Structure 1
Amino acid sequence: MTRKEFLRQLEQALSGLKPEAVREILADYDEYFSDAQADGRDEAEVVEALGSPQKLARELKAQTHYRQWQEHRSFANLTRVVASIAGLGVLNFILAIPLLVYLLFLTVGYIASVGFLLSGLAVVLAWGSHSLFGWPQFTSDGSGWYIGRYGDSGAEMAWRSERDDHSGQVWIDKGLLMLEPDDGDRFELKTSQGALLLVSKSGGKLAVDASQPAVRELARIDDGQVRIDGGAIRELKLREDSGDVFTARVDDGKRLETLDVSAGGTVLKLVASGPNGSISLKDGDSTLEISERSIELKDGMDHIQIDALPGLSVGMSALVVGLMLLLGGSLGLVFCVWLTRLTWRALVAYVKYQIELVSGKGGENAAA
């Protein structure tokens, strides 16, 4: 191989490096040929001493990438050095495979740790939101029947129909239980003494009836609505013309106790207070039951049940699981960071050792 052919092949093998770096390397080896010829050595002898231009180019690339990494120590530059070293020979490439597998597992570890951390954070924040802000809230304003907020007026809604005309409503306004039934609807209200108060609408006309005159005085018709002292009512039952039934009860402390809804084949039962609070929702063959001790879902042949931790409610179990996820994610993330630092140091030591080997071999070639 002639000098010109050697330099041409070396230039092709150095593709990927910056043009100025390639020109500098070619100029050095062109000068090396000139010095060797001045010492009486012919081109063939110099080419034989230098070896394969492709192999020499791989060594020079590794050295160049190593210098770039020393000037700017980034992960991208280190990756180029490792790739260059892996390209020096089959053995180095085989040794690089376990490293790539290890880096893959390290990446999976990062993803899993961050996933645990975010999941735990979401669970703890949800639990904290319920504890601090009471959502969903089943407490009372003193008159009972409180479930949520209604509209922009600030009225507290106990129940609202899903009908398009927004009628058939029940809500609390300044301690008064407000009723606005549809035609054919009937309200049955029980007082704390067990007396019955009936509110109905037929032919567009509201009617109020009671088993006792004193109970009748609790209700007042005003502008198409019935206003009742909510503090005196313990149970409300709405029977709609469609056959749907809504029932709500409050306890002696005027807190919502139970809620029963039956509409279109769907049955919802809510026990809102006491140690055995629960929610049961049935829709055909599907059943969802949430209690203090478990969450159970049945859907045809499928049956999923999640039990609380021993001695804890579902809510406290969720908090404990959330905290465990937070702790596990945090520890996993710290461990991954520690492994990353250790891996970085090991890679730096390995790269330095390999480059010293390559540089020493290059020096021997030059000396030859």
Structure 2
Amino acid sequence: MIRKAFLSQLEQGLAGLRPETVREILADYEEYFNDALADGRDEAEVVAALGSPQKLARELKAQTHYKQWQEHRSFSNLSRVVVSIAGLGVLNFVLALPFMIYLLFLTIGYIVSVSFLLAGLTVVLAWGSHGLFGWPQFSSDGSGWYIGKHGDRGAEMAWSSDRADHEGQVWIDEGRLRLNPDEGDRFELRTRQGDALLVAKKRGKLLIDASQPATRELVQVDGGEASINGSAIRELTLHEDSGDVFTARVDDDKRLVRLEASSGGSELKFAASGPKGSLSMKDGDSSLEITESKIALKDGMDHIQIDALPGLSLGMSVLVVGLMLLLGGALGLVFCVWLTRLTWRALVVYVKYQIELVSGKDRENAAA
């Protein structure tokens, strides 16, 4: 192989470098050949001393990338140096394999740590935003009977049966419970003094009955609807002609503390009496139960249950778990950053060592 062929193959091997860098390298080796010929050496001897032009190109690319990294120390420049060094021989690829596996696990560590951190932060913020997971208070105007909005008819009790004509049987309007039972349905109410009140509809006529005359006077009839001061009622039960039942109860502070509903094979129970509040829903073989100590979900043969930590309520357990996730994610992230810095330093030492080996070989070839 003569000088022209050697330089042509060297130029091809340097593909990927900047054109001006390639021209500088080729000019240096042109001068190297000229100096060797001036010393009485022929081209074939010089080519044999330099070795394979492809291998020389790989070594020169590694050195060039290393110089670029020294001028601007960035991860991308260091990555180019590592890739160039890995291309110098099969042994380097074998050494690079466990390093790539290590980087994979380090990346997974970052992902897990950040996930834990975000999950913990979300749980803690959610816990705080819901007022320490206190039981909800359903009230709109102090009557305690607000549950849902129903168009222009004010706030309506969120109760729906299987009957297609069941709509707007009970709602609240400016602090008053308005009752409009369907044919065959009846409302059983109990006042705060414990007196009973019955509102029903038979043959299209609204019927009102009370245990005490004073209780009867609480009811006003307007256009086929019964109207009662919501703050005077402690408990309301709707019995439908189909057999469906809906019951709601408020406490002395006008907060909804009990709600029960049954329709066909489905049941809903809600209790919020202080620290022992609970929610229970059943639909055939499926059920959902939420208490201060557990969340249980059953669906046929499947059963999922989440228990609170020993000695803590479910709400406090959520807070503790959130704080643990937050702490674990933060510590994991700090550890991953520390490993990254350590890896960076080790990689720099390895790159310098490999470049020194390559530069030493070049000096030996030049001396030869």
Taking structure 1 as the reference length, what is the TM-score of the superposition? Answer: 0.91
Distance in 2 between residues matched to 1:348 and 1:332, nearest whole Å: 24
* Aligned match of 1:159: 158
Q: % of aligned pairs identical?
A: 75
Report if the CA contact (8 A) 1:140-1:254 is conserved.
no
Distance in 2 between residues matched to 1:226 and 1:154, nearest whole Å: 14
Q: 1:245 to 1:63 in 2, by over 3 A?
A: same
Letter in structure 1 aligned against 2:57: A
Superposed CA deviations along residues 116-167 of structure 1, whole A, max 9, x for unmatched, are 1111122112211211796843468543334x45268895554344788783
**Unmatched 5+ residue regions in structure 2?**
none
Distance in 2 between residues matched to 1:133 and 1:91, nearest whole Å: 60
* Aligned match of 2:6: 6
Superposed CA deviations along residues 290-311 of structure 1, whole A, max 9, x for unmatched, are 1111111111111221110111
* Aligned match of 1:69: 69
Distance in 2 between residues matched to 1:340 and 1:164, nearest whole Å: 65
Distance in 2 between residues matched to 1:362 and 1:138, nearest whole Å: 83
Worse-superposed segment, 167-176 or 244-253: 167-176
Worse-superposed segment, 285-294 or 28-37: 28-37
Superposed CA deviations along residues 201-237 of structure 1, whole A, max 9, x for unmatched, are 3555433322222111111123554321222212111
* Aligned match of 2:96: 96
Q: What is the Cα-based RMSD across aligned positions, in Å?
A: 2.5
Q: Counterparts of 1:1-368 in structure 2 under 5 Å?
A: 1-131=1-131, 136-138=136-138, 142-146=142-146, 148=147, 150=149, 157-161=156-160, 167-202=167-202, 205-368=205-368
Distance in 2 between residues matched to 1:11 and 1:152, nearest whole Å: 80
Q: CA deviation at 1:282?
A: 0.7
Q: Which secondary structure state, in structure 2, belongs to the residue aligned with residue 317 of structure 1?
A: helix
Report if the CA contact (8 A) 1:256-1:273 is conserved.
no
Distance in 2 between residues matched to 1:38 and 1:80, nearest whole Å: 37
Distance in 2 between residues matched to 1:222 and 1:343, nearest whole Å: 81
Distance in 2 between residues matched to 1:327 and 1:27, nearest whole Å: 59
Worse-superposed segment, 150-159 or 339-348: 150-159
Q: CA deviation at 1:353?
A: 2.1
Distance in 2 between residues matched to 1:171 and 1:126, nearest whole Å: 31
Q: 1:149 to 1:282 in 2, by over 3 A?
A: closer
Worse-superposed segment, 75-84 or 26-35: 26-35
Q: 1:67 to 1:241 in 2, by over 3 A?
A: farther
Worse-superposed segment, 9-18 or 42-51: 9-18
Q: Which secondary structure state, in structure 2, belongs to the residue aligned with residue 275 of structure 1?
A: helix
Taking structure 2 as the reference length, what is the TM-score of the superposition? Answer: 0.91
Distance in 2 between residues matched to 1:74 and 1:264, nearest whole Å: 68
Report if the CA contact (8 A) 1:62-1:84 is conserved.
yes
Letter in structure 1 aligned against 2:299: D
Letter in structure 2 aligned against 1:150: K
**Unmatched 5+ residue regions in structure 1?**
none
Report if the CA contact (8 A) 2:271-2:279 is conserved.
yes
Letter in structure 2 aligned against 1:11: E
Q: 1:363 to 1:164 in 2, by over 3 A?
A: farther
Report if the CA contact (8 A) 1:140-1:256 is conserved.
no
Give the number of equivalent residue pairs: 367
Q: Which secondary structure state, in structure 1, belongs to the residue aligned with residue 145 of structure 2?
A: coil
Superposed CA deviations along residues 307-352 of structure 1, whole A, max 9, x for unmatched, are 1011111111011101111111111111111111221122122212
Q: CA deviation at 1:63?
A: 0.7
Q: Which secondary structure state, in structure 1, belongs to the residue aligned with residue 274 of structure 2?
A: coil
Q: CA deviation at 1:34?
A: 1.6
Q: 1:155 to 1:114 in 2, by over 3 A?
A: farther
Q: CA deviation at 1:113?
A: 0.6
Distance in 2 between residues matched to 1:330 and 1:353, nearest whole Å: 35
Distance in 1 between residues matched to 2:285 and 2:247, nearest whole Å: 23
Report if the CA contact (8 A) 1:159-1:169 is conserved.
no
Report if the CA contact (8 A) 1:114-1:333 is conserved.
yes
Letter in structure 2 aligned against 1:124: V
Worse-superposed segment, 189-198 or 178-187: 178-187
Q: Which secondary structure state, in structure 2, belongs to the residue aligned with residue 101 of structure 1?
A: helix
Q: Which secondary structure state, in structure 2, belongs to the residue aligned with residue 131 of structure 1?
A: coil
Letter in structure 2 aligned against 1:106: L
Report if the CA contact (8 A) 1:156-1:172 is conserved.
yes
Q: 1:242 to 1:25 in 2, by over 3 A?
A: farther
Worse-superposed segment, 114-123 or 353-362: 353-362
Distance in 2 between residues matched to 1:251 and 1:150, nearest whole Å: 22
